[in-house]
Amino acid sequence: MAHRRLIPWLATALMLFSSLAFAKNKMEGVRIWPSPSNTRVVFDMREAPDYSYFTLSNPTRLVIDLADTSKGLDFDKIQNDSKLIKRLRYSNAKDKQSIRVVFDLNEAVDTQIFSLPPTAPYGNRLVIDIGSKGETASSNVKRSDQLADRDIIIAIDAGHGGEDPGSIGYAGSYEKNVTLSVAKMLAQKIDNTPGMKAAMIRTGDYYIHPNKRADMARRQKADLFVSIHADAYTTPQPSGASVWVLSMRRANSELGRWLENSEKHSELLGGAAEVIQDTASERYLTQALLDMSMDHSISTSYEVSREVLKEMRQITKLHKSVPQAASLAVLTSPDIPSILVETGFISNKDEEKNLNWSKFRENLADAMYNAVQRYFKRMPPDGTMWAKLKRENRTHKVSAGESLSLLAQRYNVPVSKLKAANNLDSDLVRIGQVLTIPN
């Protein structure tokens, strides 16, 4: 009888011990994504996190309590390259079923903390955004004064980054790594060209919201915004490169609608804090689209896109031979011509291999560089060194039906000056002759 009376007590004790020893949730991973002005920390959780937090000063700390959660991680083994976070450590928790995580910080910060549900390739997450007070997201881009004879500024945007890997290839390649590699190659070519300067929007593996990328290019007073991506689709068959410009209506193809949905997916992966807080984003987009300068921006974007496609078809297959249009946030800057270059389908096995090949990425950078350089040699922005050189060294190749008097009228210069600049004894010109056009 004594044994029978002990069994219920033993079962209760075991249940109590089990509830004390085994928490429901568990921290399965920690990722730290530093950028020039802020740091994102992501806790990968087994279940949706139940959390609370507070801050302490002298020294500055951020404290996060995770209820019904077990440890399971050694923070000392987590790579931390953040300038804001001195150390990540555990502290005494509220109870035995919880954990307390302390961020020892190097300065006072602005903090946003939110949880995210599973979104492939990630599960449940707790996201901690730590921003340096007074800093802006554009701190990695130095402002350029728009003076006479200035450089032509090309803003180069490597798509995705950080918590948002972009599309993932069959072999596990991340779009964010391909785009950053190509962007750096393109930037180097531009910076090595007198009269041109590259402004990298993203210089490392961190996330920037699409709307902020366009803002950063605007603050830099960029003459062109080039966003580099690698395409993907639900099936592995589609292949080829394409170039996109902004559509003020619905996307003009099924692939365009897929891209628009993919952009929303990227916001869920990397930019949830901005999506949650930016209730005025629709109003901002509407105002931007109504801006009259958008007409010039779109027409210029279309011309640059055609030049890029001319170059791209020499090194790879084209998915579409003409510029495509979709309503993408990264292209909505009303005052900056903007294009989005899809370098190929990372969801296609063969093109994924190409995109992982350094020589192919170099070819892609060359194609974009050649196209951009050719366009701006033909149409240099006012106030740039290239515009000055074009005025001083204008030339014209004579075509059928053209005469000296017709060219004098077109360029608004006297016939006598045209003759003197080209050492001509008569008014006769021949087809194919290259004439210097004086100011």
| Residue 249 confidence (pLDDT) above 90 | no
Structural domains for the chain: 23-132 (2.60.40.3500), 152-378 (3.40.630.40), 393-437 (3.10.350.10)
Percent of the chain with pLDDT over 70: 79
* Orientation angle between helical segments 358-378 and 293-312, nearest 10 degrees: 130
The answer to whether the bond into 323 is cis (omega within 30° of 0) is no
Strand extents, DSSP E, 267-354: 324-326, 338-345
Q: Tokens in use for 183?
A: 């962007």
CA 51, 65, 120 angle in degrees (round to 5)? Answer: 45
| Residue 136 confidence (pLDDT) above 50 | no
State how far the Cα of 27 lies from the Cα of 236, in Å rounded to an integer: 34
pLDDT in tens, 306-363: 999 999 999 999 999 999 887 776 666 667 899 999 999 999 999 999 999 999 999 9
pTM above 0.75, yes or no: no
The helix (run of H) or strand (run of E) holding residue 337 is none
Q: Mind giving me the DSSP string for 49-116?
A: --EEEEEETTTTEEEEEETTEE----GGGS----SSEEEEEEE--SSTT-EEEEEEESS-EEEEEEEE
CA 108, 269, 276 angle in degrees (round to 5)? Answer: 60
pLDDT of residue 148: 66
